[in-house]
Amino acid sequence: MSSLNLDDFTDLIERPDGGVRRDAEARRERQIVPPGSLGRLDDLGEWLAAAQGTVPVRPVERPRVVLFAGDHGIAELGVSARPAGSAGQLVRDVLEGARPVSVLARRLGVPVRVVDMALDCDPETLPEDVVRHRVRRGSGRIDIEDALTPEEAEAAFRAGVALADEEADSGTDLVVLGDVSVGGTTAAGVLVAALCGTDASVVTGRGGLAIDDLAWMRKCAAIRDALRRARPVLGDQLQLLATVGGADLAAITGFLLQSAVRKMPVILDGVVVAACALVGQRVAFRAPDWWLAAHDSGEPGQAKALDRMALEPVLTQGVRVGEGAGALLALPVVQAAAALSAELPERAEEKSEEKAAETDDAEVSQPE
């Protein structure tokens, strides 16, 4: 019998501090640039202040990119422009600095952590710190079989929880969360369609390399068939991840929920992470308050998931490559919002009024 009870997250996750957010809004109204003139940056600064529980907001000084990696058996059907089982090479490229996320992370000075949950490759070909959480070699073909056993799904979910604790304990103050997968967007589409009650065609996108029409039709059919298998287990989120998710998706879901428990804000990347966030919302309705949607990738499944969670993307750049690249682009915007919120001076008249109020209070408090 499993000791994992996802319902516990409902009690463990609190909303970001609403009082602090109101204080941040009040401070913003006193600053020299009129409220609203910085657009979305005002909202981002206030969101971050509430997540940190402090005004003025602290700068984001120790961000980290965390990427969960896995191969999906459904890729055997030709639903991806990449060959089935090739995510391991993508991981090696990330580690060697040859992927977009590597270039951006290097430019921004942000460390990248890659976690192998279900790559279909020999573990000896990757560093030990990458493969130590692996649950299995490749996830099952979800149109005809479960992605994982219940035990594997729990192990993957727990790995995600443990990694969130590691990041929080090490002082990471914001996580840029992404995936490195082949076939992952198909599994994500199934989760989004199941949780939003939509048809396969509504959530089927063309992936990072823009598959052709024939591949899109194969992908749509695969999501349709997997969706039939998903609907009977909608009431059990862990079983849903085992049936039509995958080890990387289960780990991402665990990571997101535990990050909310630990009050560690997370920037979400593309459709795979958005689908996991949607599962997380079903587990604990307050959890999305700790997450920020980085960008609109153009994937219909991502748009559907973000709309359901009422999360508005920061950027619209059409970045479909995945691997956290689009989310990393949003990091400088968040850091800029934090700097403006903390460092813009207040208007002179506001300072004079505050000083006068302090003087009056001091006079009233003087003994006769």
Q: What is the pTM assigned to this prediction?
A: 0.92
17 C-beta neighbours (distance < 10 Å), count: 18
Identify the architecture of domain 63-332 in CATH: 3-Layer(aba) Sandwich (3.40)
Which CATH fold would you assign to the domain 8-57+340-363? 1.10.1610
Q: How many CA atoms lie within 13 A of 159 on its CB side?
A: 26
Q: Is 166 a catalytic residue?
A: no
Domain residue spans in the chain? 8-57+340-363, 63-332
For residue 1 the two structure tokens come to 């019998």
Q: In angstroms, what CA-CA distances link 265 with 102, 112, 115, 173, 255?
A: 22, 17, 19, 7, 11
**β-bridge pairing 291-293 and 266-268:** parallel
Query: Catalytic pick from 323, 354, 358, 363?
Result: 323
Give me the tens of pLDDT residue by residue for the chain, a chain 368 residues long.
Answer: 467 899 999 999 999 999 999 999 999 999 999 888 899 999 999 999 999 999 999 999 999 999 999 999 999 999 998 999 999 999 999 999 999 999 999 999 999 999 999 999 999 999 999 999 999 999 999 999 999 999 999 999 999 999 999 999 999 999 999 999 999 999 999 999 999 999 999 999 887 677 889 999 999 999 999 999 999 999 999 999 999 999 999 999 999 999 999 999 999 999 999 999 999 999 999 999 999 999 998 899 999 999 999 999 999 888 888 889 999 999 999 999 999 999 999 887 655 555 555 555 555 555 54
